[in-house]
Chain A
Protein backbone atom coordinates (compact mmCIF):
# COMPACT_ATOMS: atom_id res chain seq x y z
CA UNK A 1 0.00 0.00 0.00
CA UNK A 2 0.99 3.64 -0.37
CA UNK A 3 0.79 6.28 2.35
CA UNK A 4 0.03 9.74 1.05
CA UNK A 5 0.39 12.99 2.94
CA UNK A 6 -0.82 16.43 1.92
CA UNK A 7 0.09 19.89 3.05
CA UNK A 8 -1.62 22.05 4.14
CA UNK A 9 -4.49 20.10 5.63
CA UNK A 10 -6.67 23.18 5.47
CA UNK A 11 -6.44 26.84 4.63
CA UNK A 12 -8.56 29.94 4.42
CA UNK A 13 -7.57 32.25 1.58
CA UNK A 14 -8.58 35.56 0.17
CA UNK A 15 -10.15 35.96 -3.24
CA UNK A 16 -7.59 36.55 -5.98
CA UNK A 17 -4.70 34.80 -4.25
CA UNK A 18 -3.14 31.42 -5.07
CA UNK A 19 -2.48 28.35 -2.94
CA UNK A 20 -0.09 25.50 -3.64
CA UNK A 21 -0.93 22.10 -2.21
CA UNK A 22 1.81 19.52 -1.77
CA UNK A 23 1.39 15.77 -2.06
CA UNK A 24 4.02 13.30 -0.88
CA UNK A 25 3.88 9.53 -1.41
CA UNK A 26 5.97 7.19 0.71
CA UNK A 27 6.98 5.07 -2.31
CA UNK A 28 7.59 5.62 -5.99
CA UNK A 29 4.40 5.52 -8.03
CA UNK A 30 3.77 5.88 -11.73
CA UNK A 31 0.37 7.50 -11.57
CA UNK A 32 -0.62 10.48 -9.45
CA UNK A 33 -3.90 12.32 -9.67
CA UNK A 34 -5.60 15.41 -8.30
CA UNK A 35 -9.30 15.42 -7.45
CA UNK A 36 -11.78 17.97 -6.20
CA UNK A 37 -14.54 17.01 -3.79
CA UNK A 38 -17.21 19.64 -3.31
CA UNK A 39 -19.88 19.25 -0.61
CA UNK A 40 -22.51 16.75 -1.69
CA UNK A 41 -20.76 16.14 -4.99
CA UNK A 42 -18.82 13.24 -6.38
CA UNK A 43 -15.07 13.16 -6.63
CA UNK A 44 -14.11 15.03 -9.78
CA UNK A 45 -10.80 14.36 -11.45
CA UNK A 46 -8.90 17.55 -12.17
CA UNK A 47 -5.84 16.11 -13.85
CA UNK A 48 -3.31 13.32 -14.04
CA UNK A 49 0.12 14.46 -12.87
CA UNK A 50 2.72 13.05 -15.26
CA UNK A 51 6.31 12.75 -14.16
CA UNK A 52 8.59 14.72 -16.43
CA UNK A 53 5.87 16.10 -18.66
CA UNK A 54 2.84 18.35 -18.58
CA UNK A 55 -0.20 17.21 -16.65
CA UNK A 56 -3.23 15.83 -18.48
CA UNK A 57 -6.31 17.88 -17.62
CA UNK A 58 -9.92 16.75 -17.64
CA UNK A 59 -12.64 18.67 -19.41
CA UNK A 60 -13.43 21.86 -17.55
CA UNK A 61 -10.02 22.24 -15.94
CA UNK A 62 -7.16 24.24 -17.41
CA UNK A 63 -3.49 24.60 -16.67
CA UNK A 64 -3.66 28.34 -16.06
CA UNK A 65 -6.10 27.83 -13.23
CA UNK A 66 -4.66 24.59 -11.81
CA UNK A 67 -0.96 24.34 -12.63
CA UNK A 68 0.53 21.02 -11.55
CA UNK A 69 4.10 19.94 -11.03
CA UNK A 70 5.46 16.39 -10.81
CA UNK A 71 9.23 16.61 -10.40
CA UNK A 72 9.70 12.96 -9.38
CA UNK A 73 7.88 9.70 -8.69
CA UNK A 74 6.95 10.55 -5.10
CA UNK A 75 5.89 14.19 -5.15
CA UNK A 76 3.42 16.51 -6.84
CA UNK A 77 1.94 19.94 -6.29
CA UNK A 78 -1.35 21.49 -7.33
CA UNK A 79 -1.76 25.25 -7.38
CA UNK A 80 -5.19 26.82 -7.27
CA UNK A 81 -4.68 30.18 -8.95
CA UNK A 82 -6.57 33.45 -8.72
CA UNK A 83 -9.03 31.89 -6.30
CA UNK A 84 -12.70 32.71 -5.99
CA UNK A 85 -15.26 31.43 -3.46
CA UNK A 86 -16.32 28.82 -6.04
CA UNK A 87 -12.93 27.15 -5.55
CA UNK A 88 -13.81 26.34 -1.95
CA UNK A 89 -13.57 22.58 -1.83
CA UNK A 90 -11.56 19.62 -0.65
CA UNK A 91 -8.63 18.82 -2.92
CA UNK A 92 -7.41 15.24 -2.85
CA UNK A 93 -4.21 13.74 -4.15
CA UNK A 94 -4.18 10.09 -5.12
CA UNK A 95 -1.64 7.60 -6.40
CA UNK A 96 -1.66 4.19 -8.00
CA UNK A 97 -4.47 2.91 -10.12
CA UNK A 98 -2.29 1.85 -12.98
CA UNK A 99 -3.98 -1.30 -14.11
CA UNK A 100 -7.23 -2.64 -12.81
CA UNK A 101 -5.66 -4.62 -9.98
CA UNK A 102 -3.62 -1.67 -8.78
CA UNK A 103 -5.48 0.03 -5.97
CA UNK A 104 -5.79 3.79 -6.01
CA UNK A 105 -4.79 5.36 -2.68
CA UNK A 106 -5.88 8.77 -1.50
CA UNK A 107 -4.35 11.42 0.67
CA UNK A 108 -6.32 12.98 3.54
CA UNK A 109 -7.26 16.01 1.48
CA UNK A 110 -6.76 19.75 1.74
CA UNK A 111 -9.83 21.68 2.84
CA UNK A 112 -9.78 25.07 1.12
CA UNK A 113 -12.06 27.97 1.97
CA UNK A 114 -11.93 31.09 -0.19
CA UNK A 115 -13.43 34.26 1.24
Chain B
Protein backbone atom coordinates (compact mmCIF):
# COMPACT_ATOMS: atom_id res chain seq x y z
CA UNK B 1 0.00 0.00 0.00
CA UNK B 2 1.36 3.40 -0.96
CA UNK B 3 1.66 5.99 1.77
CA UNK B 4 -0.53 8.42 -0.17
CA UNK B 5 -3.30 7.33 -2.50
CA UNK B 6 -4.87 9.66 -5.03
CA UNK B 7 -7.16 8.82 -7.93
CA UNK B 8 -5.47 9.98 -11.13
CA UNK B 9 -8.76 10.73 -12.93
CA UNK B 10 -9.27 12.40 -15.27
CA UNK B 11 -12.14 14.22 -13.63
CA UNK B 12 -14.22 16.16 -16.17
CA UNK B 13 -16.76 18.72 -14.97
CA UNK B 14 -18.74 21.57 -16.52
CA UNK B 15 -17.83 25.15 -15.77
CA UNK B 16 -19.40 26.34 -12.53
CA UNK B 17 -19.45 22.91 -10.89
CA UNK B 18 -18.15 22.20 -7.41
CA UNK B 19 -15.12 19.96 -7.62
CA UNK B 20 -13.99 17.58 -4.89
CA UNK B 21 -10.47 16.17 -5.01
CA UNK B 22 -9.34 13.67 -2.41
CA UNK B 23 -6.39 11.79 -1.01
CA UNK B 24 -6.09 9.07 1.58
CA UNK B 25 -2.96 8.21 3.49
CA UNK B 26 -1.68 5.50 5.77
CA UNK B 27 1.04 7.21 7.80
CA UNK B 28 -0.45 8.62 10.98
CA UNK B 29 2.69 10.74 11.48
CA UNK B 30 1.66 13.12 8.71
CA UNK B 31 0.85 16.48 10.24
CA UNK B 32 1.11 18.96 7.40
CA UNK B 33 -1.02 18.70 4.29
CA UNK B 34 -0.62 20.55 1.04
CA UNK B 35 -2.23 20.83 -2.35
CA UNK B 36 -0.18 21.66 -5.41
CA UNK B 37 -1.52 22.63 -8.80
CA UNK B 38 0.42 21.68 -11.91
CA UNK B 39 -0.46 23.05 -15.31
CA UNK B 40 0.61 21.16 -18.40
CA UNK B 41 4.35 21.45 -19.06
CA UNK B 42 4.87 23.43 -15.85
CA UNK B 43 6.20 22.58 -12.42
CA UNK B 44 3.86 22.18 -9.44
CA UNK B 45 2.96 25.32 -7.47
CA UNK B 46 1.71 25.38 -3.91
CA UNK B 47 -2.00 26.10 -3.77
CA UNK B 48 -2.94 25.52 -0.15
CA UNK B 49 -1.37 24.37 3.07
CA UNK B 50 -3.05 23.03 6.22
CA UNK B 51 -1.77 21.88 9.55
CA UNK B 52 -3.52 19.01 11.34
CA UNK B 53 -7.28 18.58 11.11
CA UNK B 54 -9.81 21.16 10.07
CA UNK B 55 -10.72 23.40 7.17
CA UNK B 56 -8.95 26.23 5.44
CA UNK B 57 -10.53 28.49 2.87
CA UNK B 58 -8.88 30.68 0.25
CA UNK B 59 -11.21 32.25 -2.26
CA UNK B 60 -12.89 29.49 -4.26
CA UNK B 61 -10.67 26.83 -2.70
CA UNK B 62 -11.27 24.94 0.56
CA UNK B 63 -8.86 22.39 1.98
CA UNK B 64 -10.21 19.91 4.49
CA UNK B 65 -8.28 17.45 6.65
CA UNK B 66 -9.78 14.57 8.62
CA UNK B 67 -6.93 12.94 10.47
CA UNK B 68 -9.18 10.38 12.16
CA UNK B 69 -10.07 9.00 8.73
CA UNK B 70 -6.67 9.78 7.18
CA UNK B 71 -8.48 11.63 4.44
CA UNK B 72 -7.93 15.05 2.90
CA UNK B 73 -9.96 16.98 0.37
CA UNK B 74 -9.72 20.02 -1.83
CA UNK B 75 -12.96 21.66 -2.91
CA UNK B 76 -13.14 24.10 -5.78
CA UNK B 77 -16.28 26.20 -6.03
CA UNK B 78 -17.52 27.78 -9.25
CA UNK B 79 -14.89 25.92 -11.23
CA UNK B 80 -13.42 27.66 -14.25
CA UNK B 81 -11.70 26.32 -17.38
CA UNK B 82 -8.53 27.93 -16.03
CA UNK B 83 -8.70 25.46 -13.12
CA UNK B 84 -7.95 22.65 -15.56
CA UNK B 85 -4.72 21.17 -14.27
CA UNK B 86 -3.33 18.28 -12.27
CA UNK B 87 -3.77 18.62 -8.52
CA UNK B 88 -1.28 16.85 -6.28
CA UNK B 89 -1.72 16.32 -2.60
CA UNK B 90 1.41 16.22 -0.47
CA UNK B 91 2.09 15.50 3.18
CA UNK B 92 4.87 16.01 5.69
CA UNK B 93 5.38 14.14 8.92
CA UNK B 94 6.53 15.42 12.27
CA UNK B 95 9.87 13.66 12.29
CA UNK B 96 12.01 16.63 11.32
CA UNK B 97 12.22 16.03 7.56
CA UNK B 98 10.39 18.69 5.59
CA UNK B 99 10.42 16.74 2.37
CA UNK B 100 6.83 16.02 1.26
CA UNK B 101 5.38 12.71 0.19
CA UNK B 102 3.29 13.31 -2.90
CA UNK B 103 0.20 11.66 -4.31
CA UNK B 104 0.16 10.80 -7.99
CA UNK B 105 -2.07 13.73 -8.84
CA UNK B 106 -5.62 14.04 -10.17
CA UNK B 107 -6.14 15.47 -13.63
CA UNK B 108 -9.05 17.94 -13.64
CA UNK B 109 -10.73 19.17 -16.81
CA UNK B 110 -13.27 21.97 -16.56
CA UNK B 111 -15.08 22.38 -19.85
CA UNK B 112 -16.98 25.53 -20.85
Q: Which residues of A contact B (CB under 8 A)?
A: 4, 33, 40-43, 45, 48, 92, 94, 97-100, 102-109, 111
Contacts and interface: CB of A to CB of B under 8 A. Distances in A.
Interface residues of B, number: 24
Contacts, number: 50
A8 B2 CA distance: 32
B98 A100 contact: yes
A105 B46 CA distance: 8
A42 B98 contact: no
Given A105-B45, A107-B43, 8 more contacts: A45-B99, A48-B99, A97-B99, A102-B98, A103-B46, A104-B46, A108-B41, A109-B41
Nearest to A43: B102
Contacts of B100: 97, 104
B88 interface: yes
Interface of B: 2, 4, 6, 8, 32, 41-46, 49, 51, 88, 90, 92, 98-105
A97 B46 CA distance: 11
Nearest to A97: B98
Nearest to A102: B98
